[in-house]
A and B are shown apart, each in its own frame.
Chain A
């Protein structure tokens, strides 16, 4: 399985947040968001309410410093397809 840059940044952020490495995690999150922006833009019409809610949940959790929950959402809640993962 070939992982896309988005997926690599996602797992970097997940791992860093679970280890308490906030600087590294936040950096990976920024890269992930940069990486996902074009994907989200091109799929804007297909984004459901659930997807938008999920993105909001991530943003809110990060804002309040709830990094373990951010890691959970990234690892378990966002479908792989959202990261443009190719097989």
Chain B
């Protein structure tokens, strides 16, 4: 029978973190962790997830610790498993503070039961906190990846921010290494030089509300409102929302497109564009030339901070728009830079309300069941709504953006989609 270290570990926690100790002893849940000891190294199995390597958890912890520079004096660790990662980092002579963030209290208690954590818990440099919905992700950090899978629902935002952080470098390299995209940018150079600069649109919006239309299922809740909107308002549509809006007889004041996949984007513009002859298209130069050339109205080029545009920026400077993977970011940033103080997010669901991926009549609208995505977010009613990892990441990036723009009131126009931190509801 395996040892039970719970009481010994708890005694130490009681001395150093009495509040946390109380939460741990008051925890009233059935333990879901299974102790696996028949492998080379013991670990826990929780809901089908192994917490650490069954073969060499020390070597695994050494690898995980390489996420943090040897010279770092203060380090954050997200998640607790066997304690090997904490031990590995505490061996470093320059380390002055190890901030350990617990991602799941029940899981933490299981770890305290099956593994002896007293050495690192007793180290004066260690601090322990429990992740909450508002916990920020601090760097430099290392992570126990399995704990991200088993995170408490209330702290899901922390998981999303960590996942974003971990994947960003890889995603940037993938875009940078895409020869097709680079070629499209090169081929668009004459257009970029001849077209307007998005910067001329900045500061042009007055006091009225600004609506940013994305193509989430809840967009359809706002068609009436958009038809009756005031003359002082502004409607900016992302490319995927253009067709549904036009089919409802709603003409946006500007359209934004930033994606480089030709065939995908061409479908979004496969609609009668004639009513848009005075409507500006704001684009990133990665967009295929075939998309740009068919636009009947004025075009304005913009760049993001992607390495793809570094060279262009030096010889053909244009205004910048924020974008971290979705055109909605660019549309929101455009609205803010145009001077909007009150920004209504329409159809910005970041999820699949009503089990649909997009608003009806959007090109890629399908049943969420067909996607296979099993991730979830909380909607405006506090209920779980299905989503994809990408959408969740985009939303977290938007939340970061919103937090950086306190001068703007962001209104989430629907409770059907994801609850976006930093936004208000009108109802």
Asked if A19 meets B67 with Cβ closer than 8 Å, knowing A24-B170, A68-B146, the reply is: yes
Q: Are A21 and B170 in contact (CB under 8 A)?
A: yes
Partner-contacting stretch, out of A2-10, A29-37, A40-48, A71-79: A71-79
Q: Are A19 and B51 in contact (CB under 8 A)?
A: no
Q: Does A23 reach chain B (CB closer than 8 Å)?
A: yes
Q: Does B205 reach chain A (CB closer than 8 Å)?
A: no
> Interface of chain A, helix or strand or loop or mixed?
helix
- Tell me the bound Cα distance from A57 to B364 in angstroms: 34
* Contact size range, A: 20 to 34
Q: Are A23 and B167 in contact (CB under 8 A)?
A: yes
Instruction: Provide the residues of chain B in CB contact with A18, threshold 8 Å.
Output: 53, 60, 63-64, 145
B: number of interface residues (CB 8 Å): 26
Interface residues of B in 141-200 (CB under 8 A from A): 143, 145-146, 148-149, 162-163, 166-167, 170-171, 174
Among A20, A27, A66, A71, contact of B48 (Cβ-Cβ < 8 Å): A66
Determine which residue in B50, B51, B64 has the highest number of CB atoms from chain A within 10 A of its CB, and name it.
Answer: B50
- Tell me the bound Cα distance from A21 to B119 in angstroms: 29
Minimal beta-carbon separation of B137 from chain A (angstroms): 12
- Tell me the bound Cα distance from A66 to B167 in angstroms: 18
CB-defined interface of B49-72 with A at 8 Å, one 1/0 digit per residue?
A: 111111110001001100100000
Minimal beta-carbon separation of A31 from chain B (angstroms): 12
- Tell me the bound Cα distance from A66 to B34 in angstroms: 15
Q: Are B167 and A71 in contact (CB under 8 A)?
A: no
A16-B170, A68-B60 known; 5 other A-B pairs, CB under 8 Å?
Answer: A22-B166, A22-B389, A66-B48, A66-B146, A68-B49
Interface residues of A (CB under 8 A from B): 15-24, 27, 64-69, 71-72, 75-76
Listed A/B pairs (9) with beta-carbon separation below 8 Å: A16-B170, A17-B145, A18-B64, A18-B145, A19-B64, A20-B162, A22-B167, A24-B170, A76-B55
